Amino acid sequence: MLKNKVALVTGSTSGIGLAYARALAGEGANIVINGFGKPEDIEKERASIEADFGVTCVYNGADMTKPDEIAAMVADVEKDLGGVDILVNNAGIQHVAPIEDFPVEKWDQIIAINLSSSFHTIRAALPGMKKKGWGRIINTASAHALVASPYKVAYVAAKHGIAGLVKTVALEVAEDGITVNAICPGYVWTPLVEEQIPDTMKARNMSEEEVKRDVLLAAQPTKAFVTVEQVAALAVFLCSDAASSITGTMLPMDGGWTAQ
């Protein structure tokens, strides 16, 4: 379905981002992965995508807090692979603390990575998509783009910002063959979720099991974590011709969380 297309997936060295990369490669897209990690681990995943799916996969280590590096990454994709057809903005970090204890530097970092980086990638990639008359922009938002939870002020603010960004850009490019959407997962079992458990335990004075049951899955009626494969499958659908009229939307995949 996506043969000869090029997909740039930020924050794709693990978790949801890596699942996106593999799912899109499975449909024939050439892939650019991006993110942090041990060089040997990143190379293993890059080589695995090429070997498993017979596509080109390259790694770009652009720091998503730095607009110049983001612009250079998109320029490199245009020069080396012919441009970005599918942009998946997935890079994200988390910090959990009451607002009065929330470190200012953490606020700045989360807003930069979870929100501003998407502005910079979209801004850089759109001209090439417009020239081709086709493009797919997908943002990983969150149920927290639609509702709030305590102790996550920066994350919730950033994800609500993504909702506004997606809707605005979708309207701007509605006649250009480009769709812009956001997937809003509930809790997905990823390294990001696993890493926030100790902070949540401390903030709420709970055990790990209590955090999983009474905090993470409390709002999800299914009482089950969303899987990375489910999120990636929705992204693949959004890249299809069948989804060409879906744009400017926030698509919940949250086990019923935001239905309440």
Active site residue 59: no
- Rounded CA gap, 35 and 48, in Å? 16
* Long-range contacts (CB closer than 8 Å, 24 or more residues apart) made by 142-150: 142/184, 142/185, 143/184, 143/185, 143/186, 143/219, 143/252, 143/254, 143/257, 143/258, 145/182, 145/184, 145/250, 146/184, 146/250, 146/252, 146/258, 147/219, 147/257, 147/258, 149/219, 150/98
Contacts of 151 (CB under 8 A, 6+ apart): 96, 97, 98, 200, 203, 204
32/83 Cα distance (integer angstroms): 11
Q: Please, what sign has the CA dihedral across residues 184, 189, 194, 199?
A: positive
Q: Select which of 20, 59, 155, 187 is catalytic.
A: 155
Nearest-CA neighbor of 91 among 7, 189, 22, 12?
A: 12
Q: Which of 5, 17, 7, 13 is nearest to 183 (CA)?
A: 17
Q: Tell me which residue of 84, 163, 94, 96 sits closest to 127, measured CA to CA.
A: 84
- Which sequence positions are flagged as catalytic? 155
